[in-house]
Chain A
Amino acid sequence: MPAVVELDRISKSYEKKVAVRELSLRIEAGTMFGLLGPNGSGKTSSIRMMVGITMPDSGSVSLLGKPFARETLKQVGYLPEERGLYKKMKVLDQLIFMGELRGLDKGTAGRRAHNWCERLQILEAVDKKTEELSKGMQQKIQFISTLMHDPELIIMDEPFSGLDPVNAVLLQDTLIDLKNAGKAILFSTHRMDQVEKLCDAICLINAGQAVLSGGMREVKSRYERDRVVLQFEGDNSFLQHPAIAEYKDYSGHVEIKLHPHADAQSLLREAVEKAKIYKFELVEPSLEEIFIQTVGEKVDA
């Protein structure tokens, strides 16, 4: 099965600045893909090339297994980072207009708009003008307008920013449903905890270049589990174990960093002998740590 998105060494420069350099990535159907990177690293520039707003200077973009063509964009839903809706338009008219532009007929667009508003609990807003709605509601409407035409590829730039936790979960669940229905979803964010929870694959870019990419598990497995979080009561002499590089003891709650390739299991055995252990967790590095570590290394280099 061909990838939904395939970027092959695309590059883009503006005036004197290189925005994206030789970026390649693949997004498969039925996956949630996280595009990460610090501000100004080239995320939005890359997305704009995927949806044909700008053309790459070199390299190629393929969507749904075919070389880029504008016709394919009818099967792509794009939520830009900067939200934009026609302020004076009524919500329903706006959704129908967006649906029609993506090739739906008026009746279908109206029905789908209604169903989506019901699903996202904003049915009472359909007759209001956009400018009368709260930020969060506007965001939900924009979210719906992205999905109206049942796209195979969904691209969302910072989809959860500015939403309260209840609505953020509502949209998250919606995206997971769509993923399970076989859609490919790409989203970019700064929120590492969301990526960690939702994404199957990631690509981390910095200064326009991919510095880390692959499946979430595979990426994480490249980084050693070298941290231990431990809760105990009693003798703390096991903290002198040779595997430990450094530790912080917050009276019973200890955060430990191990030496590279150290044996965590022997540490656990010694701890059990000496103290009463409530919790012993060998923590995998968080995406945030990987992010900082990777980007930091590159910045230092």
Chain B
Amino acid sequence: MRDIWLIAKREYLEQIRGKAFKVTTILIPVVFVSIFSISFFASKNSGSGKHITIAANDPALAARVRDQLLTDKDARMIVDVIAPAADSVRQQLLTEVDEKQLDGFLWLTTESDGSKASATYAAHASGDFATTARLSDAVDHAVVQQRLTAHGIAASDVEALTSDVKIHTEQVKNGKEVSSSAFGTFWAAYIMAFLLSFTVVMYGMNVGRSVIQEKTSRIFEVMLATVKPGDMLAGKLIGIGAVGLSQLAIWAIAAAIFSGSALAASLMSGGLKIQVSGVEIALFAIYFLLGYALYSALFAGLAATCDTEQELQQYAPLAAVPIWLSFGMITFIVSNPNSALSVAISMFPPCAPITMFLRIASQFPPLWQIALSLAIMAVSVYIVVWLSSRIYRVGILMYGKRATIPEMLRWLRYS
């Protein structure tokens, strides 16, 4: 026990004092916040500041569409109206779009009795979903208003009848409604899952690299003359795991201080509320530790069979594939947290830390499912540690070419 403690302490102090730790502690949150702010504000502001022209044979409808478009403050659109528009105008508008004086134009035609309307949006950029959605919304609204007015309903009533209803989301917890922002929950889940996958793999690879360095510097030969290989591996896993937890703790504290500050309050007023509960933080730590133990033990074993970091890189897909798989399913899991597939993938150990966390954040799964997933992970950690320590013990004394799978299997039988 004393040996494990000494080795863990050494590993911890060396990494905490190292330059890499300081750089990643600062750089990773900066990169994270940048990526998320950019994608958040980009999604909010997409399709804004467009200059379009509405060409219609019905001036009243065109004016209504324009009014609708201008009520959306986020869009900051510039809207010109040409009505009534002759067919010759179309050619002129096409030229303007072509010369980029306009982003696009909306061609609106209605039957004289107002029964049928058709709209075409022609723009330079295709696939501008945000603008298309805004236009479709505005045209729908305007047509309904137009028809209501045509049926002799007063203008003030028309406004009231067609006013939007904002959906207020609430989460049901323990049979009570808790007001929540669905958006905030999603982002919280997304950020935590991202952070989890990132740190688990980063620290798993870190253990692998550290094993290779000890192998190349031949330090283990001195160490093995006093310390058991199992103790050496255990000390390393504990030491580097503690470094990971320290880094997460630093980030959590920094985030807590930041969210209490005035700057955060002004930033978050834009509707992005990120809610994280204490239970989630505890589970985050547990899933980090188990996920880390799984990946780091795997990479420690593999690293012992390699001579250089380049050789170890060839095993990187073993970590990357489960993470791609988990992230590929992110929207499915967040919208169907209790489907059989979501439950199954949150039990599969390499994916469990990320996928279970997405489920936890979106809808708290039954406790037995969390317990089962943790139990399956713990068992697989035990198995991987057992296999890896045997491979480690033999591999670390072997030099030369990278060991093949049959060789590793033979090593498992060595006592």
Contact = CB atoms under 8 A, between A and B. Distances in A.
Chains A and B form a bound pair: yes
Interface of A: 48, 51-55, 70, 73-74, 76, 78-80, 82-89, 97-98, 100-102, 142, 145
Contact of A84 (B18, B220, B227): B220
A53 B397 contact: yes
A101 B9 CA distance: 12
A201 to B, nearest CB: 23
Interface of B: 3, 6-7, 10, 14, 18, 214, 217-228, 397, 415
Contacts of B222: 78-80, 84, 98, 142, 145
Contact of A101 (B6, B18, B415): B6
Given A85-B217, A86-B219, 5 more contacts: A78-B222, A86-B217, A88-B18, A89-B14, A101-B6
B217 A52 contact: no
4 closest Cβ pairs, A-B complex: A84-B219, A84-B218, A82-B218, A78-B225
Nearest to A157: B221
B16 to A, nearest CB: 12
B14 A86 contact: yes
B219 A85 contact: yes
A86 B219 CA distance: 7
A51 B218 CA distance: 16
7 contacts: A48-B397, A55-B415, A73-B225, A79-B222, A83-B218, A84-B222, A98-B222
B401 to A, nearest CB: 13
Contacts of A102: 226
A55 B415 CA distance: 9
Nearest to B227: A101
Q: Looking at A74, A76, A80, which has the most chain B CB atoms within 10 Å of its CB?
A: A80
B224 A74 contact: no
B155 to A, nearest CB: 77
A87 B397 contact: no
Nearest to B214: A84
A89 B15 CA distance: 11
Q: Looking at A54, A73, A101, which has the most chain B CB atoms within 10 Å of its CB?
A: A101
A120 to B, nearest CB: 18
A77 to B, nearest CB: 9
Contacts of B221: 53, 80, 82, 84
Contacts of B14: 86, 88-89
Contacts of B397: 48, 53-54
Nearest to B19: A88
Nearest to B17: A88
Contacts of A101: 3, 6-7, 223, 226-227
A48 B221 CA distance: 9
B310 to A, nearest CB: 19
A87 B217 contact: yes
A52 B225 contact: yes
Nearest to A155: B225
Contacts of B218: 80, 82-84
A11 B87 CA distance: 100
A85 B216 CA distance: 11
Contacts of B224: 52-53
B274 to A, nearest CB: 38
Contacts of B226: 73-74, 101-102
A70 B219 contact: no
Contacts of A73: 225-226
Contacts of A82: 218, 221
Contacts of B228: 70
B22 to A, nearest CB: 14
Nearest to A87: B217
Contacts of B3: 101
A97 B225 contact: no
Contacts of B214: 84
A186 to B, nearest CB: 13
Contacts of A85: 217, 219
B392 to A, nearest CB: 13
A128 to B, nearest CB: 15
Contacts of A100: 6
B216 to A, nearest CB: 9
Contacts of B220: 84
A76 B221 CA distance: 14
A269 B18 CA distance: 76
Contacts of B18: 88
A59 to B, nearest CB: 16
A300 B227 CA distance: 42
A188 B308 CA distance: 29
Nearest to B213: A87
A182 to B, nearest CB: 21
B230 to A, nearest CB: 12
Q: Looking at B10, B225, B228, which has the most chain A CB atoms within 10 Å of its CB?
A: B225
Contact of A53 (B7, B10, B219, B225): B225
Contacts of B7: 101
Contacts of A70: 228
Contacts of B219: 84-86
A253 B238 CA distance: 70
A76 B6 CA distance: 19
A164 B153 CA distance: 106
A54 B223 CA distance: 13
A84 B223 CA distance: 9
A145 B218 CA distance: 15
Contact of B225 (A76, A87, A142): A76
Contacts of B223: 101
